[in-house]
Structure 1
Amino acid sequence: MSFHPAELRTLGHRIRHARLAAGLTLEQLGGTAGLTTSHLSLIENGKREPRLSALSALAEALGTELGELLSPEAPSPRAALEIELEQAQSSDMYRTLALPALRPSRSMGDPVLEALVGLHRELQRRERQAIATPEEARRANTELQAWMRARDNHLPAIEALAEDRLRLVGHAGGALTHRTVSLMAEQLGLRLIYVDDLPASTRSITDLENGRIYLPPASIPGGHGLRAMALQAMAHILLEHTRPANYAEFLMQRLEINYYAAACLMPETASVAFLQAAKQDRDLAVEDFRDAFGVTHEAAALRLTNLSTRHLDIPLHFLRVGGDGAILKAYANDGLPLPSDVTGSVEGQLVCRRWAARRAFAQTNRTTEFYQYTDTPEGTFWCATQTGSTADGDFSISVGVPFAQSKWFRGRETTVRAESRCPEPSCCRRPPDELSARWRDRSWPSARLHAHVLSPLPSGTFPGVDDNDVYRFLERHQGG
């Protein structure tokens, strides 16, 4: 048999508990079971893994069943506290404090033991909240992006789950209606409720006790809207999510619920059929894909990254870029040379001024897509870019492919072409020598420093969420 350290501690406590209940000393039990006193002491302290034969002998000597000794439950509330304290003191976090481990003794009262365990629980809670520094968040996000890129941004299990849930409500095709989303919630025992006092730090709140999903009364500009928010809330339940233990787990859960919502709004079977027909006609276009399923341009572009490589055999890239040229979101499995920092993160990095994602801002007609071929050190890429605006400023959405794949897309006949040598500084980052000579010593700009650069991510049970606001909200609506 093989035991996890925590299982060994529980086993030792159960043996000791049974021995003391039988009124036996270590020497008496060891002699009956054929074990030395020192060997039995090590077993009771969780420091020695017993053989099955030794466990059987101990069970017989104690007059109990072997299964009783192997139960995963602590034999008493006191033993549960002792086991939890031992586990806490063996954690990496506690070892970094360079404090001695305190072994519970018989003379240690239960209130003292409860206080010690409570302190460790609070230390662990604060440690979990403190991990979400910007640097760690960026690293976790970069690792998650690499994980998805290795899978061509495609998650078959969630695709299948979405198709099953849609089949249960009889969704036959076309745009997913608010009514159908409500029916999907009802099948989970949930009711959608629209309120105007959601806490500012939340997009939705699920009341698990009363079976309610609280949503805002109107869509979020530039987002997927109320349908997606409701589907995302349901996804937490369908995917059996538990409270995230760290920021990487929080990001994975967010990715999964976003993926589920997209897979419901643009189901795989119908979407692939639509895209394959468009490819056959050499008329693939994000705008057509968007309109066919009644979603935003960004949602359609992102969904294309889930399906294009797996089902159309087309590698591609996606970019959402701010008006200042900084990357807000990005995905690429086609070799596009995305700028990145030392951690490999691309968010916040400036794309080349000659890429379509930035040149599109200068177009006078911004209601139609802007097409461009761009020669880069990694080859030539074709891009289709759509621009838009929110309260936070302008942004562009780009979907592009290597030159050889452009033949499948509308807009491939464009004659607009640009050359990018980035990351070579002379391409667009370094000012011309004459301008630099004229102004370098005659100017002193005052930099705009974004506050979030120096701040840790907001803490809470869920990163960025104010627990106090959430619980007060639920209390207000308890009788609703």
Structure 2
Amino acid sequence: MSTGELADTHHWQEPPNFRYRQRMTITVDLATLGHRIRHFRTARGLTLGALGAQVGAAPSQLSLIENGKREPRLSLLTDIAARLGIEVADLLVDEAPDRRSRLELEVARLQAGQLYASLGLPTVKPTSGTPDETLAALVGLHEELQRRARLAIATPEEARRANNQLRDVLQAENNYLGFIEDLAEETVAKTGHTGGALTHREVTVMAEQLGFKLVYVDDLPHSARSVTDLANGRIYLPPASIPGGHGLRSMALQAMAHRLLGHERPDDYADFLRQRLEINYFAAACLMPQRDAVAFLQRAKADRDLSIEDFRDSFGTTHESAALRFTNLATQHLGIRMHFLRVGDDGALQKGYENDGLPLPTDATGAIEGQLVCRNWSARTAFTHTNRTTEFYQYTDTPAGTFWCATQTGSTDSGGFSITVGVPFDEAKWFRGRETTVRAVSRCPDESCCRRPAADLEARWGGNAWPSARLHAHILAPLPSGSFPGVDDSEVYAFLDQHATSD
């Protein structure tokens, strides 16, 4: 792609408040331009010398232009178009002029990619004597190579790196994505929603406005939470839901978000993670609309009575969804810096976010997922309390300062978990539960804090214990493969085919 005087013909502008999407600029493709010039020149029976004489350019200069090696001045391009009896716009169309040109361009494009370069093979340069069938075979081989690469298993290191980068960008944005907030507000308003929790009926109306029908089935593919039939305008969802109906509403909204956000098939694992984050954000922004949610939280802050429990109940969502939504709005609209943790009953951090300086545990790559949090944090001490029906409050002194936290525990078929929302000591004044007298000390990452056994226990049992470790399945399992990681394409296609013919 050229970046010269022809490069400013079209530009794609990134949406506001959406800086984590890479800025893209669409420019004139010199290779395509060259093929179009050659196509029109040969169609008029002109040689390079004949055309060069008419436009005042050497044949060698025109040859470089036709081979995409040089960008023509706009004045020269205008003269070429005039001599060929066409408009300049006819040359700037970003489309191969014929099948032969399309094959040559595709071979060149595919061979210029990193995937082919990584093979260390020489490039094939088509000549006038190369049969079209040979070029078609090369294109087919390249496309199959790319297809298999897309299906390849991402390494854990690649996934961690992608997740780390995404987390860093969100932290810089205070976990607030204005573009999605605006899109959600506009989409919800079109349903006639006037306030409060988003209803099932309003979600159904939203789908209909997008040209989709929500269909509830009991035979969804095991690897998919929902399936969208783009050909027939259907979104298939499971019939069951968690209490309050939040699950079905959220899944439907996530499926619609892919369409509203213009998602294409993910190019890599990083793209997959970004898309997943975006659809989750959109669903939360619809279920807890910014205007109503901010008004609710601002009133609670004014009363010094902020509570995730109340926020959750007001909009009919899960505790975790309310806590995550709070991270979107707390800094942007309330001026509160904070942290969020989801921790398993084994002490491993499953999700985490902070912009308040809480030192989250990390591995050598900077990843936080799977790392053990301090035993003295409320995210773990909450599991030791008998009454888990309400939030547990605690102050914790750390090397980075004192933090106040509110923790709620829960359980799934795979085990227990805790959801924690916390703030620095000075911000605790806005929250219910700030009067707690529960206080703990954490010196982590100093191993003497909670990771080394007590000296008397070490003396008694050191060398006399031989536990058999319970290995978590995910440690050795490869990351999910497929066009959409973790989804069985053959199962999904068979499901769609069955319902397309039976419904």
> Shorter-chain TM-score: which interval?
over 0.9
Distance 1:185 1:222, change over 3 A: closer
Cα gap change, 1:349 to 1:283, in 2 (>3 Å) = same
Give the secondary-structure state (helix, strand or coil) at the position aligned to 2:29.
Answer: helix
User: Which residue of structure 1 aligns with residue 289 of structure 2?
Assistant: 267
Partner of 1:38: 60
**TM-score, structure 2 length as denominator?**
0.92
* One-letter code aligned to 2:419: I
**Mapped contact 2:28–2:92 kept (Cα < 8 A):** no
| Letter paired with 2:285 | A
Taking the aligned partners of 1:16 and 1:456, their CA distance within structure 2 comes to: 49
Quote how far apart the aligned CAs of 1:477 are.
0.5
Q: State the partner residue of 1:292.
A: 314
Task: Give the SS at the match of 2:397.
Answer: strand
Secondary structure, in 3 states, of the residue corresponding to 1:271? helix
8 Å CA contact 1:131, 1:246 repeated in 2: no
Q: Point out the more displaced range, 175-184 or 398-407.
A: 175-184
In structure 1, the partner of 2:411 is: 389
Q: Please point out which of 243, 250, 266 is paired with 2:265.
A: 243
Identity of aligned residues (%): 66
State how far apart, in whole Å, the 1-side matches of 2:424 and 2:250 are. Answer: 31
Q: Secondary structure at the match of 1:387?
A: strand
SS at match of 1:329: strand
1:173-228 CA-to-partner distances (Å, cap 9, x unmatched) read 22222112111111111111000111111111111111111000112689940000
* Matches of 2:370 and 2:245, distance apart in 1: 20
Task: Find the counterpart in structure 2 of residue 2 from structure 1.
Answer: 6
Aligned positions of 1:2-401 closer than 5 A: 2-3=6-7, 7-130=29-152, 132-219=154-241, 224-401=246-423
5+ residue gaps, structure 1: none
Residue 471 in 1 paired to residue 475 in 2?
A: no
| Residues 397 and 441 in structure 2, CA contact (< 8 A), matched pair in contact too | yes
- Once residues 6 and 428 of structure 1 are traced to their aligned partners in structure 2, the CA distance between those partners, rounded to angstroms, is 60
2-structure distance, mates of 1:201, 1:377: 43
Counterparts in 2 of 1:339 and 1:435: CA distance versus 1, 3 Å: same
- Are 1:131 and 1:247, in contact at CA under 8 Å, matched by a contact in 2? no
Most deviating of 362-371 and 435-444: 435-444
Correspondence 1:443 to 2:465 = yes
Structure 1 position 347, deviation (Å): 0.9
Query: What amino acid is the match of 2:177?
Result: L
> How far apart, in 2, do the equivalents of 1:6 and 1:128 lie?
27
Residues 222 and 117 (structure 1), Cα distance of their counterparts in 2 relative to 1, 3 Å cut: farther
Equivalent residues of 1:224, 1:299 under 8 A apart: no
Q: Alpha carbons of 1:24 and 1:329: their partners in 2 closer, same or farther (altered >3 Å)? A: same
The 3-state SS of whatever aligns with 2:500 is coil
Q: What displacement does 1:446 show?
A: 2.8
Report the alpha carbon displacement of residue 31 of structure 1 after superposing the two structures with TM: 2.4
CA–CA distance in structure 1, aligned partners of residues 51 and 158 of structure 2: 52
Secondary structure class of the residue paired with 2:369:
coil
Which amino acid in the other structure matches residue 362 of structure 1? T
Match of 1:429 among 448, 451, 468: 451
Q: How far off its partner does 1:129 sit? A: 3.1
Matches of 2:459 and 2:103 in 1, distance apart?
Answer: 71
The letter of the residue matching 2:174 is D
Distance verdict in 2 for CA 1:7–1:306, change over 3 Å: same
Output one character per residue of 1:418-463: Cα deviation in whole Å (capped at 9) or x when no partner: 0000000100111223333433323333333334333432221111
Per mean C-alpha deviation after superposition, the further-off stretch among 7-16 and 19-28 is 19-28
Change (3 A) 1:27 1:221: farther
Deviation at 1:367, TM superposition (A): 1.0
Take 1:221 and 1:167, find their aligned partners in 2: how far apart are those partners?
A: 25
Give the Å deviation of 1:246: 1.6
Output the amino acid matched with 2:195.
G
CA RMSD of aligned residues (A): 1.8
Q: For 1:251, give the aligned amino acid.
A: L
Query: In the TM superposition, what whole-angstrom CA distance separates every residue of 1:35-79 from its partner, at most 9, and x where no partner exists?
Result: 222211111111111112222222233233222122211010121
Please, which runs of 5 or more residues in structure 2 have no aligned partner?
Answer: 8-25
